Amino acid sequence: MGQFLARSLTSFCLWFAACLLTTSLFVSSAFAQTGSEGLSPTLSAIKKAHAVRLGYRESSPPFSFLDQAGRPIGYSLELCEAIVEEIGIEVDDPNLRIDYVKVTSDDRIEAVLQNKIDLECGSTTANAERGKRVAFSPLMFVAGTKLMVPKASNVRSLTDLKGKTIVVTKGTTNEQAIQAADKKLLLGLNIVTAPDHEQSFQMVNDGKADAFATDDILLYGLIARHKAQEYFRVVGDYLSYDPYGIMFRKGEPQLAAVVERAFRKLGSNRDLIPLYNKWFTARLPTGERLNVPISLQLEEAFKAMDDSPGANN
């Protein structure tokens, strides 16, 4: 597992470096591809509608979830709101409306591809396979697949689930990770899927599954949201390594440049770490507290986005 984490960290560093290089190239080429021709397709549609459509998740705390009044809130949505401000500057419309569109793990990529949303503001892993179809913002979080089990369970790792039922949320990288581990370790798992994280959580809560596999931070968020710390725990080694990003349409360098610029402004203003702390260490608007301090990798990634003079001195 130590070798896996080392390889994962190397992959993370390569992915992040490639992400910065790619977005920098987008910035350089954006003006060449638009210029006198006007705005890119997405930005043109936003300007015409005076609105940006944000895809949100109902049960991915603290990234994207609903408050007590049923309104979408979360870390990812605040990042998207900063991007919306930058879009307003780009299209010369500072009063853009935000339209919230519900998406799930299974339909979020198609929602981007089919032009149903402009930005996906959830808890989406940015990997090479998905990068062939959609574009991603710079890194906003790093997570990994772990297991949620009842505290009364004897399960400490994936191998303890041999022959048992494990639930994963449909359309996630966690589903792929569990299937790969099951095949490699010959565990004979009964792998079932649920449409969203809340339903996956409820399957374990109702005794219909022995464990729920998803990103560790989402498990902690769901347990805290349900005030279920006495009943469930997160166990096991990391079964995957998942860098998160805001998702948007591929092939629009002007839009990519706007997203990149929004992140760099947040970095230059030193807003990224306080924003992280607001959602991961402070008490959430819904009352719970996750107490998940920022990782060294993510803190360094945020500092790398600070392009103000003297930032690296």
pLDDT digits (tens, 9 = 90+) for 191-221: 999 999 999 999 999 999 999 999 999 999 9
Give the C-alpha separation, 189 to 199, whole Å: 19
Amino acid identity, residue 187? Answer: L
- Residues with Cβ within 8 Å of residue 4, at least 6 apart in sequence: 238
Residue 94 is encoded by which pair of tokens?
């500072």
Query: H/E element holding 191?
Result: strand 190-194
pLDDT tens figures, 148-193? 999 999 999 999 999 999 999 999 999 999 999 999 999 999 999 9
Written as six digits, the tokens of 56 are 């949100």
Q: How many CB atoms lie within 10 A of CB 77?
A: 24
pLDDT of residue 294: 93
Which DSSP string corresponds to 68-106? Answer: TTS-EESHHHHHHHHHHHHHHHHTT-TT-EEEEEE--TT
Domains in the chain (CATH in brackets) are: 2-142+242-304 (3.40.190.10), 145-235 (3.40.190.10)
Residue 7 has a pLDDT of 46
Q: What angle do CA 139, 285, 238 make, to 5 degrees?
A: 40
* CB distance 205 to 230 below 8 Å: no
pLDDT, position 230: 96
pLDDT number for residue 30: 43
- Regions of the chain where pLDDT drops below 70: 1-37, 307-313
Residue 226, SS3 per DSSP:
coil
Residue 162: helix, strand or coil by DSSP? coil
pTM: 0.84
* Nearest CA-CA partner of 312 in 276, 275, 267: 267
Look at strands 211-215 and 141-143 and give their pairing. unpaired
H/E stretch holding 296 reads helix 296-304
Strands (E) located in 195-292: 211-215, 232-235, 242-244, 247-249
Tokens 């096991």 correspond to what residue? 236
The per-residue pLDDT for 268 is 93
CB 84 within 8 A of CB 52: yes
Q: Which two tokens stand for residue 49?
A: 């509608």
Nearest to 80 by CA among 107, 44, 112: 112
